[in-house]
A and B are shown apart, each in its own frame.
Chain A
Amino acid sequence: MRDVVNTWGRFVAGRLLALVVVSVGLVIATFSMVRLVPGDPAVAAAGINVTPAELATVRHQLGVDRPYFRQLISYTDGLIHGNLGKSFITGEPVTSILSVRLTSSLILAGTALALVFVVAMPLGLAAGALTREGRHPRTNTVFTAVTSVLGALPQFLVATFLAFIFAVWLRVLPVAGSTPPFQSLILPAIAVALAPTAILARLVRSETLNVLAQDYIRTVRSKRLPAHIVYLRHVLPNVLTAALTLAGVIFANVIAGAVIVENVFARNGIGTELVSAVETHDYQVVQGTILVLGLIVVAVNTFIDLSLGVVDPKSGLRR
Chain B
Amino acid sequence: MAPPILHNFRRAPGATIAVVSVGIVVAVMIIAPLLLTKNATELHVFRANQGPSSHDWLGTDSLGRDILYRLVVATRLSVGLAFIAAGLSAAIGFALGGGAILLPRQLRPVVLRFIDMMLAFPALLVAIFVGAIIGPGSKGATLGVGIAGSFYIARVASTLAISVSNREYVAAARVLGVRRVALLVRYILANTADALVIVVTATISSSIVFLSALSFLGLGVQSPQIDWGEMLTQGVQQFYITPVAALAPAVAIALTALSFGFAGEALARLLNPLLWTTTDGSGRHSKKDLAEILASSVASRGDGDEAVLQVENLSVHVPSNVGVVDIVSQVSFNVARGEIVGIVGESGSGKTTIANAITQLIPYPAFMSGTVRVCGSDLSKLTPKQTDRLLGTSVATVFQDPMSSLNPALRLNIQLTESAEVHRRVSRSDARQSAVRLLQEVNIPAAEHLMRRYPHELSGGMRQRVTIAMGLMNQPALLIADEPTTALDVTIQAQIMDVFQEINETHSTAIVMISHNLALIGQNCHRILITYAGRIVEELPNDRLSEAYHPYTRALLGAVPDMSQRLDAPLTQIPGASPDVHARPAGCAFHPRCSLAEDVCRTDVPPLVDREGVRKVACWVANRKLSTSRS
* Stretch of B77-85, B395-403, B536-544 with 4 or more beta carbons under 8 angstroms from chain A: B395-403
**How far is it, in angstroms, between the C-alpha of A29 and the C-alpha of B147 when the chains are bound?**
15
Residue contact A278 to B410, C-beta cutoff 8 Å: no
Min CB distance A208 to B, Å, is: 14
- Taking CB atoms and an 8 Å cut-off, the chain B residues in 120-135 that contact chain A are 120-125, 128-129, 131-135
CB-nearest residue of chain A relative to B122?
A: A256
Q: Is residue B419 contacting chain A, with contact meaning CB distance below 8 A?
A: yes
Min CB distance A53 to B, Å, is: 25
Q: Is residue A1 contacting chain B, with contact meaning CB distance below 8 A?
A: no
Q: Is residue A146 contacting chain B, with contact meaning CB distance below 8 A?
A: no
Q: Is residue A286 contacting chain B, with contact meaning CB distance below 8 A?
A: yes
Min CB distance B152 to A, Å, is: 9
- Taking CB atoms and an 8 Å cut-off, the chain B residues in 341-381 that contact chain A are 359, 361, 363-365
B232, B359, B409: the one contacting A313 at CB < 8 Å is B409
Residue of B117, B261, B467 with most partner-chain A CB within 10 A: B117
Min CB distance B372 to A, Å, is: 15
> What per-residue 1/0 map shows which CB atoms of A221-261 lie under 8 Å from chain B?
11111100100011001100100000011001101100110
A18, A260, A279: the one contacting B216 at CB < 8 Å is A260
Question: Contacts A156-B213, A224-B387, A238-B408: A275 and B254 contacting too (C-beta < 8 A)?
Answer: no
Question: Contacts A157-B250, A229-B418: A135 and B409 contacting too (C-beta < 8 A)?
Answer: no
Residue contact B422 to A226, C-beta cutoff 8 Å: yes
Q: Is residue B335 contacting chain A, with contact meaning CB distance below 8 A?
A: no
> What per-residue 1/0 map shows which CB atoms of B125-150 lie under 8 Å from chain A?
10011011111100000000000000
Residue contact B125 to A259, C-beta cutoff 8 Å: yes
Q: Is residue B219 contacting chain A, with contact meaning CB distance below 8 A?
A: yes
The interface residues of chain B, by DSSP majority, are classed as: helix
Q: Is residue B276 contacting chain A, with contact meaning CB distance below 8 A?
A: no
CB-nearest residue of chain B relative to A238?
A: B409
Residue contact A161 to B250, C-beta cutoff 8 Å: yes
Instruction: Give the number of A-B contacts (CB < 8 Å).
Output: 179
Residue contact A259 to B408, C-beta cutoff 8 Å: no
Q: Is residue B558 contacting chain A, with contact meaning CB distance below 8 A?
A: no
Q: Which residues of B contact A237 (CB under 8 A)?
A: 409-410
Q: Is residue B9 contacting chain A, with contact meaning CB distance below 8 A?
A: no
Q: Is residue A293 contacting chain B, with contact meaning CB distance below 8 A?
A: yes
Q: Which residues of B contact A314 (CB under 8 A)?
A: 408, 456
Question: Contacts A156-B213, A160-B246: A313 and B408 contacting too (C-beta < 8 A)?
Answer: yes
* Stretch of A78-86, A93-101, A121-129, A212-220 with 4 or more beta carbons under 8 angstroms from chain B: A212-220
**How far is it, in angstroms, between the C-alpha of A214 and the C-alpha of B410 when the chains are bound?**
14
Question: Contacts A154-B254, A314-B456: A216 and B408 contacting too (C-beta < 8 A)?
Answer: yes
**How far is it, in angstroms, between the C-alpha of A36 and the C-alpha of B123 when the chains are bound?**
20
Q: Is residue B75 contacting chain A, with contact meaning CB distance below 8 A?
A: no
Residue contact B121 to A297, C-beta cutoff 8 Å: yes
**How far is it, in angstroms, between the C-alpha of A217 and the C-alpha of B132 when the chains are bound?**
52
**How far is it, in angstroms, between the C-alpha of A160 and the C-alpha of B228 when the chains are bound?**
14
Residue contact B213 to A216, C-beta cutoff 8 Å: no
Min CB distance A285 to B, Å, is: 10
The interface residues of chain A, by DSSP majority, are classed as: helix
- Taking CB atoms and an 8 Å cut-off, the chain B residues in 390-418 that contact chain A are 391-392, 396-397, 399, 401, 404-410, 414, 418
Residue contact B121 to A152, C-beta cutoff 8 Å: no
Residue contact B125 to A294, C-beta cutoff 8 Å: yes
Q: Is residue A301 contacting chain B, with contact meaning CB distance below 8 A?
A: yes
**How far is it, in angstroms, between the C-alpha of A301 and the C-alpha of B122 when the chains are bound?**
12
Q: Is residue B423 contacting chain A, with contact meaning CB distance below 8 A?
A: yes
**How far is it, in angstroms, between the C-alpha of A237 and the C-alpha of B113 when the chains are bound?**
26
Q: Is residue A133 contacting chain B, with contact meaning CB distance below 8 A?
A: yes
> What per-residue 1/0 map shows which CB atoms of A160-196 lie under 8 Å from chain B?
1101100010000000000000000000000000000
Residue contact A154 to B253, C-beta cutoff 8 Å: yes
**How far is it, in angstroms, between the C-alpha of A37 and the C-alpha of B130 when the chains are bound?**
10
Residue contact B122 to A33, C-beta cutoff 8 Å: no
Question: Contacts A152-B261, A220-B407: A225 and B422 contacting too (C-beta < 8 A)?
Answer: yes
CB-nearest residue of chain B relative to A258?
A: B122
Q: Is residue A290 contacting chain B, with contact meaning CB distance below 8 A?
A: yes
Q: Which residues of B contact A38 (CB under 8 A)?
A: 133-135
Q: Is residue B119 contacting chain A, with contact meaning CB distance below 8 A?
A: yes
Q: Is residue A149 contacting chain B, with contact meaning CB distance below 8 A?
A: yes
Residue of A148, A161, A224, A274 with most partner-chain B CB within 10 A: A224
**How far is it, in angstroms, between the C-alpha of A276 and the C-alpha of B396 when the chains are bound?**
68
**How far is it, in angstroms, between the C-alpha of A102 and the C-alpha of B399 when the chains are bound?**
55
Residue contact B125 to A163, C-beta cutoff 8 Å: no
Residue contact A278 to B254, C-beta cutoff 8 Å: no
Q: Is residue A318 contacting chain B, with contact meaning CB distance below 8 A?
A: yes
Residue contact B406 to A216, C-beta cutoff 8 Å: yes
Closest 8 CB pairs of A and B: A256-B122, A256-B124, A224-B392, A215-B404, A237-B409, A224-B388, A133-B364, A252-B122
Which residues in B have some Cβ–Cβ distance to A below 8 Å? 113, 117, 119-125, 128-129, 131-136, 205, 209, 212-213, 216-219, 232, 236, 239-240, 243, 246-247, 250, 253-254, 257-258, 261, 359, 361, 363-365, 387-389, 391-392, 396-397, 399, 401, 404-410, 414, 418-419, 422-423, 454, 456, 467
Which residues in A have some Cβ–Cβ distance to B below 8 Å? 18, 22, 29-30, 33, 36-38, 44, 132-135, 148-149, 152-154, 156-157, 160-161, 163-164, 168, 214-226, 229, 233-234, 237-238, 241, 248-249, 252-253, 255-256, 259-260, 263-264, 274-275, 278-279, 281, 283, 286, 290, 293-294, 297-298, 301, 313-314, 318
